[in-house]
Amino acid sequence: MLRLTKVLTVLLAVSSMAATAQEKVDRTISVSGDAELRVAPNQVQLMLAAVSIDKSLAKARADDDERVKRILAAVQKFGIEAKDVQTDFVTVEPRWDSRRDDVREPDGYQVSKSIVVTLRDVPRFDALLQALMDAGANRVTGIEFRTTELRKHRDAARSMAIKAAKEKATAMAGDLGLKLGKARGVSESGWYGYGWAGNRGAMAQNFSQNIGGGASDPGSSEGFAPGLISVRATVQVSFDLE
């Protein structure tokens, strides 16, 4: 009987310790924090194409080569360095008359060369685009405003997201009559990238901050205001509750 009593005592002690441990594990709060920095871009990447169509492949290629030469000459006039200009890809496509099923020879050819230009003087974007179109670029495949300080901005956005998460957790714990303890874990989700600050969709913001320049910048003298781009961060943090 004595031995059985000792066994029951040990089991009760273990059960009590497990319950205490479970209680500690369960006394946590998990929150998310979002932050967005809206920054002025300091460079813009233009993705253009020169497209030529002719019944003769040789003529189409010659015409396209001439277009590209004029485009590159226009780029040089803006003082853009060679490292910021590249021919991305070249395509040659036969064109067929879709109205006839018995055609064995192509009706003509389409030759296309893609050119990527990085402009580091953003206020001149509008003038550069017009000059390249006048020179022979007849297709715009993409325009992307960027910042070369993305790492700095996304680190700052992450820090603000963590601060927002902590402030939210503190407020929630206070509403429950509890105090916030140490952070138990943190993870990062969401994305960093470029997006127009005025088109953020349904994202719920905890923290948002503008960093200079942009559409309201009076320094732009060419009638073009690129606006702001956004750099975002989202974190999930769990805290102990005391």
Q: Is residue 13 part of a domain?
A: no
Q: Is residue 100 part of a domain?
A: yes
- Please state the rounded mean pLDDT for residues 30-51: 91
Domain count, the chain: 2
Tokens matching residue 80: 């853009």
Res. 188 pLDDT band, cuts 50 70 90: confident
Residue 134 and residue 48 share a domain: yes
CA angle 175, 179, 181 (to 5 degrees): 135
Residue 48 and residue 36 share a domain: no
pTM for this predicted structure: 0.64
Burial class (CB in 10 A: 0-12, 13-18, 19+), 37: buried
Say if residues 72 and 81 touch (Cβ distance below 8 Å). no
Say if residues 46 and 129 touch (Cβ distance below 8 Å). yes
Say if residues 190 and 204 touch (Cβ distance below 8 Å). no
CA angle 119, 124, 125 (to 5 degrees): 60
Residue whose pair of structure tokens reads 């040990």 in the numeric block = 10
Res. 89 pLDDT band, cuts 50 70 90: confident
Q: 75 is in which domain, residue-wise? A: 43-146
Q: Is residue 58 part of a domain?
A: yes
pLDDT in tens, 117-136: 999 999 999 999 999 999 99
